[in-house]
Structure 1
């Protein structure tokens, strides 16, 4: 128990230290953590072996659920054609390509074993790419595509993997049966996800209490996953669908206080789980390499080249081909331009294709992660007949190599590539949209204020209404001035006037002085700690409304 506690504390210390280095160096934390895990694996002392069932049951559901809560259901629907192309079709083609390559060029390898490896390495893990993409300011559409693909591709890969394992064990392979199984598993996962999402809805009164909301939110992905797995459908899809629906309805299903606290809890969960996952990836290298003694160098090199080559080359080729299909094949789903930009008018005709720069960035965003390793480690040691599972150790090494090459190689070069291509979000346009929404919100509040005053409630004080009106009018004028400034923005850069930046510095200095005074009152005994914490929260919320430091 003490050893386990020391390992956990050491992991947390490593995560915090690497995050500090990543923030100051600009390097991706995922790649640095993986390299840290490799370095630790070769030091004397206890090591942690990856338990695939533990990862798939305890780590994957909360990570997927948190990502789904942070995604946009409407944006994914608008880009559904590309998301499905990447998360279903490309995963399937990748698995088949690696399987065929193994059967043709790797001595003694079977098609089923190759497809199992292909299914494991086919789904990209978007964590590293999204972390870098948000930092360098990728456009919203690219973020949506990376998110949407990452949410849905695991279900496709794990379903193909289960079919391939069954075939490799001698149960035979039937294409119609495999397709039918995939459709049933996927449809069942979606159904369970929808059920869980709306089963949570009656708990919205409970969810208005921040602590209860946190408990319900943390339990939801595990309930969705376990329920789906218990009826033999996709637990991954169930978690994702539940998260997308709950995230979409969260503004009306939960109170503001609950949302603030739940968001903070999930950020902490993501920070720790993602850090532990990448450390865990690196620590598997010695175990993976130790099983290669039975293979010749030529076999290892051929298998590695096929795996890494397909992973790196098929993705850009697929993106280019699908984006250059005839115009008639770029269909519209439900009257919505599913290939269009997030900000596009849904009533316009003709899908917006990905540009060359967007294809390059999406191609380089295909980093593999812990799901690939967890999936390949689920390969059984023996078949049903008692024979060793074909080429299991070689498959483990190839999967680890694909993860290492993409996570470290692509991860370290992703940000420089995005900067070199100049593919950035239009910050001024996004700020304009947010300020227009703020303006509309305040105007709606003023209209409601007029309605309340006209209703002449006895318990409503006119002076209170006028005070609230003055506050709203002040905000409205501030938002309109900001919109006027944004109207003249050039090159998509967010304009920051010297007066505006000076006002922010003054406001932060005032908040600092207010906190110091509250601490002084506490220290001299005029304010109890409970009162201090309550007043500090008020100042914290006020500071949270200020723009982030640049």
Structure 2
């Protein structure tokens, strides 16, 4: 394909992405599912070229920024508090699912070597970070459950990749060592943490010496690929390196970023991540045609692979539920024996956690990297695509319904201070500083109106934190008026510009001030 034709195809896919996302929003359908179906439909449009995804490029291009974005917004304290449960799923559930799927596939296809069966299990075992993010954006979960699902999706790719590597090697060479596999995973994980932490520290050092906002934002974007590629180059986990760097980035951005960098950078990241997520799903759907051609067509799939594929999907889903409910039962037993004070999830939360197993780009990319000589390669490709399609369409589209049906209650201990109480303390700290700076050295009040503003703010936030219900309606009405006033000011500003009474510079400067005022009002009202 000519480079210009490739660019035209990319632009066409971006336009299709926007259209499918808009249609999904109108129909209240999960965007990921709409993009997957839309991409699969477009793949069979006559005249369109067959897209052959380069699996290595897909992982390097799409995975690091999406992992970075997830790690950036991770609540570190909650992540640390629930680390045992996260690792249980990210490592234990992946290994258990690999074994369960391998056993079922070997039972259904006895001629397929054991190692190849387990390789198939490892391919479909890790839920995908991109799929999890796409679904979690649309639902509201208790903090503990949300932290576990997000944390699992950030870490489990590493364990899945290690299992696939050893399963493929065992299939082709006939040898396998549990000790070597365990040691390898330990080196990959610990090395990934070290590399990610070092890259994050280096990023902090560089950032402190950058004095240009555009350079700061660009450096933040490059960080994700730098961590991933450094990890892979040093033969440790690029996934864990990216997550570790992202945690450092998210933890320190509050103290090293200016307000302007944070606002502009967040806006840039939001759009970039939206496009990357959308393109991942539409490209997965678009690759369906190539997968079908490679394995001999849809008729061949139904005639020779339907049974093993369905068996693998059932085993994959059942294994996750078995692990989640089994772990919760063990936690309940340990609690009854007074060996732990950690509360079990309960049937409702365990059901939701078991259903949150959407597969995505990593599953397909791993399958596409399999050697041509790998026994059962065609079956693995079809099973990988079926796992993505079924989990995104079925689990992704019903996840919100399941959450509403289970009526989950957030049992995590709330923070010591509420939002209103924290706001009151911040306002008090501001008042102390303004009180000191608003007077001259001899005590003369130089800025009485400024001091009055901060005194009023401290008084109002203190009253509100003492009795939130008494002021909620009045505050909402207050900021509705502020937002209406901003809209009137913006309309007048545009009128002045259209009448050539003001120049572009004045328009942009005053519009920026109005935008900040509107954002502040919307945030305060919320």
- Taking structure 2 as the reference length, the TM-score comes to 0.91
Matches of 1:451 and 1:402, distance apart in 2: 63
Change (3 A) 1:207 1:101: farther
One of 180, 201, 205 as aligned partner of 2:204 = 201
- The answer to whether the Cα contact below 8 Å between 2:228 and 2:241 also exists between their aligned partners in 1 is yes
Aligned counterparts of 2:38 and 2:463: Cα–Cα separation in 1: 49
- Equivalent in 315, 336, 341 of residue 350 of structure 1: 341
1:65 paired to 2:68? yes
Alignment check: 8 A CA contact 2:130 2:361 kept = no
What residue in structure 1 maps to residue 122 of structure 2? Answer: 119
CA distance 1:117–1:462, change in 2 (3 Å): farther
SS of the aligned residue for 1:463 comes to coil
Give CA deviations for 1:211-266 in whole Å, capped at 9, x if unaligned: 01111111111111111111111111100000011101111122111111111111
Tell me how far 1:462 sits from its aligned partner: 3.2
The one of 433, 437, 440 equivalent to 2:422 is 437
Query: Does residue 1:393 correspond to 2:384, yes or no?
Result: no
Please give the per-residue CA displacement for 1:163-217, whole angstroms capped at 9, x wherever unaligned.
1121122162111111111111111111100100111111233455320111111
SS at structure 1 position matched to 2:502:
coil
Contact 1:68 1:243 in 2 (8 A): yes
User: How far apart are 1:126 and its partner, in Å?
Assistant: 4.1
The answer as to whether partners of 1:206 and 1:212 remain within 8 angstroms in 2 is: no
Measure the CA separation in 2 of the matches of 1:47 and 1:481: 64
Query: Is residue 162 from structure 1 mapped to residue 202 from structure 2 by the alignment?
Result: no
Q: 1:540 aligns with which of 515, 519, 522?
A: 515
Q: Which residue of structure 1 aligns with residue 230 of structure 2?
A: 227
Which of 52, 61, 71 is 1:49 aligned to? 52
Indicate conservation of the 8 Å contact 1:133/1:415, yes or no: no
Match of 2:491 in 1: 516
Q: Hey, what does 1:32 align to over in structure 2?
A: 34
Q: Which residue of 1 aligns with 2:402?
A: 417
Separation (CA, whole Å) in 2 of partners of 1:39 and 1:215: 36
Distance 1:235 1:128, change over 3 A: closer
RMSD: 2.7
**1:320 counterpart (325, 330, 352):** 325
Q: Would the aligned equivalents of 1:99 and 1:118 in 2 still touch at CA under 8 Å?
A: yes
Structure 2, gaps ≥5 residues long: none
Distance change in 2, residues 1:461/1:231 (3 Å): farther
What's the counterpart of residue 100 of structure 1?
103
Is the alpha carbon distance of 1:449 and 1:412 closer, same or farther for their aligned partners in structure 2, counting shifts above 3 Å?
same
* 2:51 and 2:290 in contact (8 A); partners too: no
The residue number in structure 2 matching 1:338 is none
**Residue 469 of structure 1 is aligned with which of 440, 444, 451?**
451
CA distance in 1, matches of 2:495, 2:252: 43
What is the rounded CA distance, in whole Å, between the counterparts of 2:229 and 2:483 in structure 1? 47
* 1:137-286 aligned within 5 A: 137-170=140-173, 172-207=175-210, 209-286=212-289
Counterparts of residues 448-463 of structure 1 (less than 5 Å): 448-452=433-437, 456-457=440-441, 462-463=445-446
CA contact (8 A) 1:129 1:414 kept: no
1:531 aligns with 2:506: yes
> Structure 2 CA distance, aligned partners of 1:441 and 1:24?
41
Match of 1:74 among 77, 81, 87: 77
Instruction: Provide the rounded CA distance (Å) in 2 between the counterparts of 1:330 and 1:234.
Output: 35
Closer/same/farther in 2, CA of residues 430 and 534 from structure 1, 3 Å limit: farther
Q: Matched residues in 2 for 1:535 and 1:351: separation? A: 54
TM-score by length of structure 1 reads 0.87
Instruction: State the 1:302 CA deviation.
Output: 3.0
- CA positional deviation for 1:472: 2.4
Give the match's secondary structure for 1:71: coil
Question: Counterpart in 2 of 1:311?
Answer: 316
CA distance in 2, matches of 1:26, 1:296: 32
Match of 1:376 in 2: 367
Q: How many corresponding residue pairs?
A: 515
Asked if 1:483 is matched to 2:465, the reply is yes
For the 8 Å contact 1:15–1:33, the answer to whether it is kept is yes
Could you tell me how far apart the structure 1 residues matched to 2:391 and 2:200 are?
A: 34
**Aligned partners of 2:196 and 2:243 also within 8 Å:** yes
Q: Is the alpha carbon distance of 1:241 and 1:171 closer, same or farther for their aligned partners in structure 2, counting shifts above 3 Å? A: farther
Task: Evaluate the alpha carbon distance shift between residue 88 and residue 270 of structure 1 in structure 2; reply closer, same or farther with a 3 A threshold.
Answer: same
- 8 Å Cα contact 1:207/1:258 also seen in 2: no
* Cα separation, partners in 2 of 1:284 and 1:249, compared to 1, 3 Å: same
Matching residue of 2:432: 447
Alpha-carbon displacement from aligned partner over 1:253-294 (angstroms, at most 9, x marks no partner): 221111111111111111000000000111122222334449
Structure 1 residue 406 corresponds to structure 2 residue 391: yes
C-alpha distance in structure 2 between counterparts of 1:20 and 1:167, whole Å: 46
Contact 2:33 2:397 in 1 (8 A): yes
Q: Is the 8 A contact 1:64 1:240 kept in 2?
A: yes
Q: Within 2, Cα distance between the matches of 1:231 and 1:40? A: 39
When residues 128 and 415 of structure 1 are mapped into structure 2, their CA distance, relative to the original with a 3 A threshold, is: farther
> How many angstroms apart in 1 are the aligned matches of 2:134 and 2:234?
35
Partner of 1:471: helix, strand, or coil?
helix
Secondary structure of 1:372's partner?
helix
